[in-house]
Structure 1
Amino acid sequence: MIRDEAAEAIAEEHGKLGLPAAISLIVGNIVGTGVFLLPASLAAYGTISIVAMALVSIGAIALAIVFGRLGARLPTGGGPYAYAKDAFGEFSGFWNAWSFWLTAWIGNAAIAVVWVNYVNYFLNWTSPVAQIALALVALWIPALINLSGVKNIGAFALVTAVLKFIPLIFVAVVGLFFVQGGNFGPFVATGGSWIAALSTAGALALFIYSGVESVTIVAEKVRDPARNIGKSSVYGVLICAAMYMLSTVAIFGTVPHDALVNSTAPFADAINNMFGGSVGGGIMAACAIVSGIGAINGWTMLVAEMPMAAARDGLFPSVFARESRRGVPWVGIVAGTALTSLVAVYNYFGTEDGFNKILLIATFTTVIPYFFSACAQLFWLVTGARRISGARLGRDLAVTAVAILFAFWMTYGAGMEAIFIGFLMLLVGIPVYIWTKAKRGEYGPGGEVPASPHGRPGR
């Protein structure tokens, strides 16, 4: 054990993420700020929400296993981009890279907006200009950390993961001793069918697992990726699933149903109901602040790593492949953070429901790489897994099928408007792909421009 910890430390000293840092990256990216409001949202549908979260957790674990298998087979940077490109060709790879890139910088804006709300628990800065200033702080501090090098990114992810989990685990474990059956409320609280309630609650729960693919995207920065990608993916999701399930049950059982439905700080209300007083609000607001800044740190890394992997293959503008002396893709970090800043500004000066639209669009663009990755695993199992034993092949096929269904469910949960807007944003990427190919001198199936009669490239 001591020898393993020493090896991890040495790996991280040399700019590599060891297993603890890789797990922390996944946990930090999955557990952002949404979890701090989720129990109140789920309570509106009744205790059937607990069943919905259990089903979603199973889907997320299946997806983590699929990513682990893919990462071990193809331990290269880019994650879903690399898997789609390997299975279905470079255009599919590009579209996955483009979709994930949209997810990373749009999603960071949603995290920053919630982060500002929790900061204002202490500051109470209500003007749009002041809130924009806070959002920019939340975005550019992680950007500077990312620009300082991989070692600092991993260390920051590890510290924030530990700090955010202490109070969350406290509620999840200690809260179980204060559970009272009368607080849970009805099984279905909507008055409609249980199937509709289960589906809607599941759609809400789906949003909190975005980030399961985090380590696969930075595979080149992970020590022993063939081994650690799979381990960190599964361990990270299992940790999050356990915390989500236990904390939801604890809060449902310690906060009366009617109060929980209208709560703006369910974790704080749970602590206050357990021990009395009002100290819980400040503790959980501080926890959410740490959680949010940690999540933005991890996603800022991903917003640069994905386009860098595609740019190295000539499928993204070459400028995204530039690295600083510290070995980080600085162009992607700066460009992604600048775009996120614009989305954050839009939230405060745009439409009234701008935040919800941002969140749902980011959810849809997340689903595309998930679906293609699961299908890439299915493609490989069907066409190239001849050396796998029958029992192992059957298990992998079953897990892959669950992951594909999970991706379908996530798409449904995003809603029609988000799917429509998100698809339009995906279409914008096609001219970028054409322009990038043209810059490389690749035109159509022939791979080059046909020569004109004058010996020069034709038009």
Structure 2
Amino acid sequence: MSSRIKSPQQLLAESGADLEGHGLRRTMGLFQLVCFGVGAIVGTGIFVGLSGSVAEAGPAVVLSFVLAAITCVFTAFSFAELGGAIPVSGSSYSFAYASLGERAAFLVGWCLLLEYGVSVSAVAVGWSQYVDELLESLTGLRLPAALTAGPAEGGVVNLPAVIVIALAAGLLVRGVRESARATAAMALLKIGILLVFCAVGFSAFRAGHLSPFAGHGVAGITAGASVAFFSYIGFDAITTAGEEVRNPRRNVPLAILICIGIVTLLYGAVALSAIGALGVDAVAGQPAALSLVVDRVTGSSTGGGIIAFGAVVAIASVVLAVMYGQTRILLSMSRDGLVPRVFERVSPRSATPVANTWIVAAVFAVPAAFAPLDVVVDLTTIGTLAVMAVVNLAVIVLRRRHPGLKRSFRVPLFPLSPLLGIGFCLYLMAGTGWTTWVQFAVFLAVGALLYAVYGRRHSRLAVTAPGDGAARAPRGA
């Protein structure tokens, strides 16, 4: 059955003015955009998730990070081309709409609930762990167990996780300029703290801790890469800012590539210094591994407290940036009628989707309050990889359908680059395990049902594909 497809020109025209009469403002430059990207990426994955990657791959976790980075690089090329050609707030959702049609776009938007929405919950849980670590280093006290974990982990409610989501929402509704400034400051701070960690770790480096280097073989490296990929989730959030960036055709592609380069170098150095300092057994399975490394190397809890502070700041910035991305995806879907209209309303005072932001905060505060971190990590990873595979495919389709589309960046070695991007995404998806695939299949089935019941009936797309039934006028027209 055919799907409704929007042209890139139509997407660009619709992004020029909000349907409620109040548009988003272009206030972000390249530096703020790079900081926004780093803010969206560097957080729970490295501060909390490093131990999981090390447990899978051992010292070869460095190769796991490289494998995950290669996957991201090929996909980053595709995001860069599409983000420069179609600089709208919908990101992957809009790219799918322009290439594969409305049904695929809805499912991509549904998967982005995992990447942007559910990962907010996972990131907030990680923030809670480091808040407790920081409090202990400063006062010698810990928060009550009942208030730092959900029922599955022996607690009642993860209160710090809920608080950080509420704080991020409060900042986001004030305006993009204020949020961008806060994200930039937090991004620079956490990069500085991770560089200090590397200096401390390498001061106690022992080559013997890297042997055996790949004790778990290729399977361990692949499994480690699937876990490590969670550490890279968020770089595509840069494309959700397409309507709020100055000179987006230049700045969006450039910011994506700069962010991937910075993060890959940083992650490799952190992993190598942590394992070199203490060895695999000491790092694997430790939720606050970086603080542990600094404490043991320096023989003092002060250094670990600094790392914990850096993690608190770093993870808070991820919550802020990823929540921003989720609200912009929902805004674009609402413009198309695929989700309720409340998500598209932009405040004339702050030029932000206020109701949208608070709804997102309320919905994803619930799993943050009651679910453990590892419940959602694998599902988030496979959903994100699926979206990235679609983005690579979208580049190929749009090159054929719209060869004359203005592109400020073109993927190198086309079509090999996007094909490799698809291949690496599928390879890492395989490493998530069959149970995650079953969960993902159920998740997609629910999304397909929602599209059939609500999205398809309320779509504003006036022109329908042949065999799709009578054309419907856009709602509100």
If the length of structure 1 is used for normalisation, what is the TM-score?
0.85
2:346 to 323, 326, 342: 323
CA distance in 1 between partners of 2:311 and 2:132 (Å)? 12
Superposed displacement of residue 383, structure 1? 5.1
Match of 2:431 in 1: 413
Range that drifts further, 61-70 or 410-419: 410-419
Aligned partners of 2:130 and 2:288 also within 8 Å: no
Amino acid at match of 1:424: V
Structure 2 Cα separation of the partners of residues 447 and 368 of structure 1: 32
Secondary structure of the residue aligned to 2:79 is helix
Alignment of 1:365-376 (within 5 A): 365-376=383-394
Give a deviation string over 1:339-389, Cα, whole Å, max 9, x none.
111212331xxxxxx43122222222222321111110122345554899x
2: CA distance, partners of 1:302 / 1:296: 10
Rounded Cα–Cα distance in structure 2 between residues aligned with 1:403 and 1:311? 29
* Residue pair 1:304, 1:330 contacting (<8 A) in 2 also: no
Separation of aligned partners in 2, 1:394 and 1:257: 38
**Correspondence 1:29 to 2:36:** no
Contact map agreement 2:114 2:379 (CA 8 A) in 1: no
Structure with higher helix content: 1
Name the counterpart of 2:256. 233
Aligned to 1:395: 413
Structure 2 counterpart of 1:200, from 223, 239, 242: 223
Partner of 1:115: 127
SS in 1 for 2:132: helix
Q: Which runs of 5+ in 2 are unaligned?
A: 1-23, 136-140, 149-156, 473-477
Return the offset for 1:143: 0.4
Within the alignment, does 1:147 sit opposite 2:173 as a pair?
A: yes
Assess, with a 3 A threshold, how the Cα gap between structure 1 residues 437 and 202 changes in structure 2: closer, same or farther: closer
Secondary structure of 1:447's counterpart equals coil
Contact 2:334 2:341 in 1 (8 A): yes
> Is residue 60–residue 237 contact of structure 1 (8 Å, CA) maintained in 2?
yes
Deviates more, 1:424-433 or 1:30-39: 424-433
TM-superposed deviation, 1:24: 1.2
- Shift in Å, 1:178: 4.2
Which of 161, 173, 196 is residue 170 of structure 1 equivalent to? 196
Residues 424 and 264 (structure 1 numbering): CA distance in 2 closer, same or farther, change over 3 Å?
closer
AA at the equivalent of 2:427: W
Between the aligned partners of 1:262 and 1:66, the Cα distance in structure 2 is 35
The alpha-carbon deviation at position 266 of structure 1 amounts to: 2.9
Matched, 1:137 2:163: yes
Residue number in structure 2 paired with 1:456: none
Q: Is the 8 A contact 1:63 1:403 kept in 2?
A: yes
How far, CA to CA, are the matches of 2:448 and 2:287 in structure 1?
A: 41
CA–CA distance in 1 between the matches of 2:394 and 2:299?
A: 52
Computed over aligned residues only, the root mean square deviation of the Cα atoms, in angstroms, reads 2.5
- What SS class does the counterpart of residue 84 from structure 1 fall into? helix
- Alignment map for 1:268-279 (pairs within 5 Å): 268-279=291-302
Provide the C-alpha distance between the structure 2 equivalents of 1:439 and 1:86, rounded to a whole number of angstroms: 18
Q: Is the 8 A contact 1:39 1:251 kept in 2?
A: no
Distance 1:332 1:368, change over 3 A: farther
The one-letter amino acid of 2:107's match is W
CA-CA distance at 1:431 after TM superposition? 4.0
Question: 1:185–1:256: 8 Å Cα contact kept in structure 2?
Answer: no
DSSP-derived class of the 2:87 partner: coil
Deviation at residue 113 of structure 1 after TM alignment: 0.9
1:82: how far off? 1.0
What CA distance in whole angstroms lies between the structure 2 residues aligned with 1:410 and 1:261?
21
**8 Å contact from structure 2 (residues 172, 352) kept in 1:** yes
Q: Is the Cα contact below 8 Å between 2:115 and 2:383 reproduced in 1? A: yes
Contact 1:43 1:260 in 2 (8 A): yes
Residue 188 to residue 439, structure 1, CA distance change in 2 (3 Å)? closer
Change (3 A) 1:188 1:175: same
Inter-CA distance 436–393: structure 2 relative to 1 (3 Å threshold): closer
Give the Cα separation in 1 of the matches to 2:286 and 2:110. 37
The percentage of aligned residue pairs carrying the same residue is 24
Aligned equivalents of 2:249, 2:354: Cα separation in 1 = 26
- Structure 1 unmatched runs, 5+: 1-12, 348-353, 450-459
Q: How does 1:11-410 map to 2 (within 5 A)?
A: 15-44=26-55, 45-121=57-133, 122=135, 124-129=142-147, 131-173=157-199, 175-190=201-216, 194-261=217-284, 263-325=286-348, 326-347=350-371, 354-382=372-400, 384-385=402-403, 395-410=413-428
Relative to structure 1, is the Cα distance of residues 129 and 37 closer, same or farther in structure 2, using a 3 angstrom cutoff?
Answer: closer
Looking at structure 1, the residues matched to 221 and 115 of structure 2 have their Cα atoms a distance apart, in angstroms, of 26
Give the whole-Å Cα distance in 1 for the aligned partners of 2:208 and 2:43. Answer: 30
Distance 1:93 1:40, change over 3 A: closer
User: Equivalent residue for 1:3?
Assistant: none
- Report the Cα distance in structure 1 between the residues aligned to 2:341 and 2:360, rounded to whole angstroms: 15
Following the alignment from structure 2 to structure 1, what is the Cα–Cα distance between the partners of residues 231 and 396?
Answer: 25
Q: Which amino acid aligns with 1:140?
A: A
Partner SS, residue 16 of structure 1: coil
User: After the TM superposition, which of the residue ranges 224-233 and 266-275 deviates more from structure 2?
Assistant: 266-275
Question: Residues of 2 paired with 1:66 and 1:440: CA distance?
Answer: 27
Moved more, 29-38 or 377-386: 377-386
